[in-house]
Amino acid sequence: MEYIEFKNINKTFFKATPREFKALENINFTISKGDFVTIVGSNGAGKSTLLNLIQGLIAKDSGNIYINGKDILQISQIERAKFISCVFQNPLDGTAPRMTILENLSLAYRRGNRRTLRESTKKQEIEIFVKELKKLNLGLEDKLNTPIGFLSGGQRQCISLIMASLNNPKLILLDEHTSALDPKMQNVLMEITDEKIKEKNLTAFMVTHRLTDALKYGNRLLVMHRGKIVFDFKDEEKKKLNVKDLYEIILKLDCENN
């Protein structure tokens, strides 16, 4: 059986008004455990709407999303947060600025678990966090007691990524999570993202406008356009694509409808 199944997902905004707008139309696809799916498409294609719907930030009109056979659209957003995690575009979104690195990581680590705050537990947690932070190579393991608000956007996004992957989520959602960073930091964060996904064998969706990243990372590539998945490149097909091909595909889609 497939790990995640999307069945006939539809979402219309401003229903029954003159502004009625189909943001997602008959979305059907399945993915296997460990798939790293990159998603591209023009502004307004429906990429974030799809991720927001998975997360429970917006409600579907119709359809189902099954993870291991269980329809996750039937359970509350809070329940979903136990096994779906996300890193979004704005570095200010994922972390609590006044809380320290340690406090932010602890919160993420305990999410969905009833862990006690005994000293021994705390010590074990700190060891885990330091190990994760060291892998970033940004010296953040020496700043455990620094409030997150003092860190750069890039540093914050790296910590958000650790937070999102700490509890081995069933699915991790990345919506343009590198886009607010400088070009070098974008590359650093992408490498860290890829390592983390491989190390933990996570199943991931990553929306990006950086076509090089969409091609370089992951084993599957979806192209979205006007609420639909219009191309679905898997493994070998994806490897054969280059940036120019992909750019032309997206450009052609935009021209066809204008």
Ligand X SMILES: Nc1ncnc2c1ncn2[C@@H]1O[C@H](COP(=O)(O)OP(=O)(O)OP(=O)(O)O)[C@@H](O)[C@H]1O
Pick 10 or 179: Cβ nearer Mg ion: 179
Degrees to nearest 5, angle at CA 164 with 158 and 166: 100
Yes or no: say if 23 and 49 are a contact pair by the CB < 8 Å rule: yes
Among 23, 133, 173, 190, binds ligand X (CB under 6 A): 23
Cβ-Cβ contacts under 8 Å for 143 (sequence gap 6 or more): 101, 151
Alpha-carbon distance of 40 to 209, in angstroms, equals 6
From residue 146, how far is each of 91, 161, 172 by CA, in Å? 16, 18, 26
Pick 215 or 224: Cβ nearer Mg ion: 224
Contact between 136 and ligand X by CB under 6 A: the answer reads no
Shortest gap between Cβ of 253 and ligand X (angstroms)?
Answer: 12
Contact between 43 and ligand X by CB under 6 A: the answer reads yes
Pick 101 or 181: Cβ nearer Mg ion: 181
Among 37, 45, 159, 181, binds ligand X (CB under 6 A): 45
Alpha-carbon distance of 74 to 64, in angstroms, equals 8
Contact between 90 and ligand X by CB under 6 A: the answer reads no
| Cβ neighbour number for residue 71 with a 10 Å cutoff | 13
| Window 41-60: residues binding Mg ion (CB under 5 A) | 48
The option from ligand X, Mg ion, none interacting with 46 (CB < 5 to 8 A, set by class) reads ligand X
CB-closest chain residue to Mg ion: 48
Q: Which two tokens stand for residue 5?
A: 């199944």
Contact between 41 and ligand X by CB under 6 A: the answer reads yes
Shortest gap between Cβ of 245 and ligand X (angstroms)?
Answer: 20
Contact between 13 and ligand X by CB under 6 A: the answer reads yes
Q: Which two tokens stand for residue 209?
A: 């406008």
Q: Which two tokens stand for residue 178?
A: 């590198």
| Window 159-178: residues binding Mg ion (CB under 5 A) | none
Alpha-carbon distance of 94 to 178, in angstroms, equals 13
Binding site for Mg ion (CB under 5 A): 48
Binding site for ligand X (CB under 6 A): 13, 23, 41, 43-49, 58
